[in-house]
Structure 1
Amino acid sequence: MHPLEQRLGYTFRQTAFLQEALTHPSVGHERQRHHQDNQRLEFLGDAVLQLVITEYLYSHFPREREGRLTKLRARLVSRDALKTHAQGLDLGRHLLMGRGEESSGGRERTSTLADAFEAIIGAIYLDSDFATARDFILRQTREALDQVLDRPIDVNPKGQLQETLQGIAMQGPSYEMISATGPEHAKTFVVEVRWGERSLGRGSGGSKQAAEIEAARDALARQLWAKDKNKSENPAADQD
């Protein structure tokens, strides 16, 4: 048994599918000859993942319109979301890749991990059937799906925060990068969201945009502007 199969909760009948799913394109590039990599399986796995998540949302949100369902799906199948699932399986450690790709941080790269996760889905689908692949996807994404059920409105935190604050005063929020640490291929950004001179929240992420989203989400949870709702349209009246 491959050491990854226990984490996957699935044992392959044809181990060649698993081997292919774990092979990064850089292997063939480095050897300068054709080598079966995981890109075709990633293409297939992406389609299976999209269908499973779409079916789940359609069943669990019978009153939501198409536009909102599309946004929910985008949140669940984003590159960052898939990277999180891949990290939970420790996929990076099991990938076969060229030395150049590995030395440049390939095992932690968002696109690499997201592609590998989708390739694993494609491999399971080909090795078994749709129902088995569906069970794997729902098992791996359970926490994210539960969060969507708990917070279906939290699709665009930045937009929601902008709308909320401009409903109180004409001025919207601004975002300020506090720090960017770590190596170039795996930086962590910390961003603060401000309203006038007031700090409303902070967030961190693998990109400035992701950190801004988390900062907006933090601000929505804290709602520090609530005390200003009956004040003038100048949100900078108080300072933390």
Structure 2
Amino acid sequence: MKIEELSKKNGAIPEQARSKFEELQNNLGLHFTNKNVLYNAFTHSSYVNEHRRKQYEDNERLEFLGDAVLELTVSKFLFLKFPKMTEGQLTKLRAAIVCEPALVIFANELKFGEFVLLGKGEENTGGRERPALLADCFEAFVGALYLDQGLETVVGFLGKVVFPKVELGMFSDVMDFKSQLQELVQQTSSGSLQYAIVKENGPAHKRTFVSQVILNDVVISEGHGKSKKEAEQKAAQIAIHTLTNKKD
């Protein structure tokens, strides 16, 4: 089957929905050549079941494809971004990025729930906010984008929506930056590496911490977190960035 023939069943999308999808494309700065593939990505099975005479196609096949595309693109990004990470660390981090809770965050940020075509039953039971539905929709959109515009465009899209969050430490709870920093310091110098909690803020039930990384008695970074461990990990992440840039 040719790509342009995919999702041709969705050619009869209601005009009101077509307008919303134009809004979505404008919001994303992405314009599909094959609009039917885009419609397909947001067509839930409940909508198909309630419109059988119009022979719509749901987004489950695109979800399957998008899952594989996400695995590949995220894997390449992590491989290049974190050269010191072991296979096990990379696998753990990738799993955190492509898991349902993370995909729901990405989908909500883009307001994907507003654009899903749902059956009345699913609509009335809060389907637009259901985590599994939103995660599936994000995967289906990635699959649709890949089919319509190729891998490079997908990478560009993820570079705006997903990858910056990794760099900002959204997944720091599964990334051992302290071990990476220790290895980096050992490779570049024989200096003494220390961590110091220099500040605690807020009430006991909502306390935040500030940690510093000290190399050879010089403070090279500072990190904030809801726990001492998180603050140290954030500080280590910033220190890695600082030392790597100096090396370059």
**TM superposition score category, shorter chain reference:** 0.5 to 0.7
**Paired residues of 1:200 and 1:222 also in contact (CA < 8 A):** no
**Match of residue 174 from structure 2:** 155
The amino acid of 1:42's aligned partner reads E
Report the number of matched residues.
Answer: 166
Identity %: 40
1:68 to 86, 89, 105: 89
**Match of residue 32 from structure 2:** 12
**Match of residue 25 from structure 1:** 45
**Match of residue 129 from structure 1:** 150
The amino acid of 1:3's aligned partner reads E
Q: Which has the larger radius of gyration?
A: 2
TM-score norm. by structure 1 comes to 0.63
**Partners in 2 of 1:142 and 1:9 — Cα distance?**
17
Q: CA deviation at 1:35?
A: 2.9
**Paired residues of 2:93 and 2:175 also in contact (CA < 8 A):** no
1:116 aligns with 2:137: yes
**Partners in 2 of 1:77 and 1:118 — Cα distance?**
9
TM-score norm. by structure 2 comes to 0.61
**Paired residues of 2:103 and 2:138 also in contact (CA < 8 A):** yes
1:52 to 73, 95, 100: 73
Unaligned stretches of 5+ residues in structure 1: 158-198, 203-216, 224-240
**Match of residue 93 from structure 1:** 114
**Paired residues of 2:65 and 2:143 also in contact (CA < 8 A):** yes
When residues 154 and 17 of structure 1 are mapped into structure 2, their CA distance, relative to the original with a 3 A threshold, is: same
> Residue deviations 1:145-167, cap 9 Å, x none?
2134xx8762189xxxxxxxxxx
Q: Report SS of the residue matched to 1:154.
A: helix
1:218 to 223, 226, 237: 226
When residues 153 and 28 of structure 1 are mapped into structure 2, their CA distance, relative to the original with a 3 A threshold, is: closer
**Match of residue 181 from structure 1:** none
Q: Report SS of the residue matched to 2:226.
A: helix
Q: Which structure's residues are more often helix, by fraction?
A: 2
RMSD value, Cα: 2.5
Q: CA deviation at 1:32?
A: 5.2
When residues 222 and 130 of structure 1 are mapped into structure 2, their CA distance, relative to the original with a 3 A threshold, is: closer
**Paired residues of 1:92 and 1:108 also in contact (CA < 8 A):** yes
When residues 128 and 65 of structure 1 are mapped into structure 2, their CA distance, relative to the original with a 3 A threshold, is: same
Unaligned stretches of 5+ residues in structure 2: 1-18, 177-203, 208-224, 233-248
**Partners in 1 of 2:44 and 2:24 — Cα distance?**
16
When residues 89 and 104 of structure 1 are mapped into structure 2, their CA distance, relative to the original with a 3 A threshold, is: same
The amino acid of 1:19's aligned partner reads Y
